[in-house]
Amino acid sequence: MKLNIISKFKRKKILVIGDVMLDRFLYGKIYRKSPEVDVPVVDIYKEIITVGGAANVAMNTSSLGASVFLTGAIGEDNDGEKIISILKSKGIDIRGLIIDKSRPTTVKTRIIGNKKNIVRVDKESRKLIDRDITRKLLKYIKNVVPQIDAVVISDYDKGVLSQKFLKEIIKLSKRFNKIVIANPKIKNFFNYTGVTVICINKSSAYSAFGKKSMSRIGKNTIKRMKCDAVLITQDKKGMALFEKNGHITNISPVKCKVLDVVGAGDTVVSVLALALVSGASMIDAVNLSNIAASIVVSKPRTAIVKTNELIGSINNLFYSR
């Protein structure tokens, strides 16, 4: 594992496009059940707010030293203002974050009682954003693409990424020879033809192709989507990398204590993009992403990985023996 690759991250510029959201975590104690209905009463003692979705991709990429340009839509509300505040505090360029007055900011609220997840409450609109908002986003992307090193598309099926919009993003990125890393939801899966790498989890892979072998799914995806590689995450089984040249690599998970898997996929695509534009081979980039993912799942809530953590993990895994 070449540590000099990581040192190059801080000179890179990454454009992140997709569904921006707010993650809210409410922690409480359960002492009793409600007298009205048979549900626990959670007395909240702590609230933690962070960003999720494409904004979490931006946060992970920024925390590793890169310059980040975020493109997406938020509502004209307090939650949208909180997202702006958090991103600004981290130096992320949010000129491509458009306010859409017709929809709320996407918010995922998780309620944790007695250290157990009780329920998740979502506030969102999944309808496609209107053409005017799309035009504004595309105008920004056209101005930024020539100056960046890679594009990461973070699709959470919240209405930002329409079929036509995706086609324009991919066409524009290819015109300027930019690496495109896509993390699609199943609804848009087959609209990502021509990207560099598709990152999906096992569940999405089965939804797209049926319960076939991972090998068959990987090969079929490369053939149909005309991409250079497909990375399929498989929970406790690690990752499977399929490359256009026919190489298949199974990557074992890094041993760690898993506290929370929220946002781990965001970390994977962030590190993958940075590693590839910094000169890493596909397999080295995936290995770096795998190590980064092990760091964030060891943390509570939606988490990010820092440069010193990534270097420390690599040293422990490869150089401390």
Number of neighbours of residue 202 by Cβ within 10 angstroms:
16
285 vs 269: CA distance, rounded Å:
10
Alpha-carbon distance of 307 to 60, in angstroms, equals: 10
Instruction: Report the alpha-carbon distance of residue 154 to residue 194 in Å, rounded.
Output: 16
Helix axes 282-296, 264-277, angle to 10 degrees: 150
Neighbours of 111 (CB within 10 A): 18
Which helix (H) or strand (E) is 94 found in, with range? strand 93-100
Q: Per the residue annotation, which of 38, 132, 266, 284 is the catalytic one?
A: 266
Between CA 218 and CA 240 the distance in angstroms is 8
Is 266 a residue of the active site? yes
- What's the token pair of residue 165? 């919009």
> Cα–Cα distances in Å, from 149 out to 128, 196, 227?
28, 13, 18
CA–CA dist 174, 163 (Å, integer): 17
Cα 203 to Cα 69: distance, rounded to the nearest angstrom: 30
* Residue 179 vs residues 49, 198, 315: alpha-carbon distances, Å: 32, 11, 28
Which residues are part of the catalytic machinery? 266
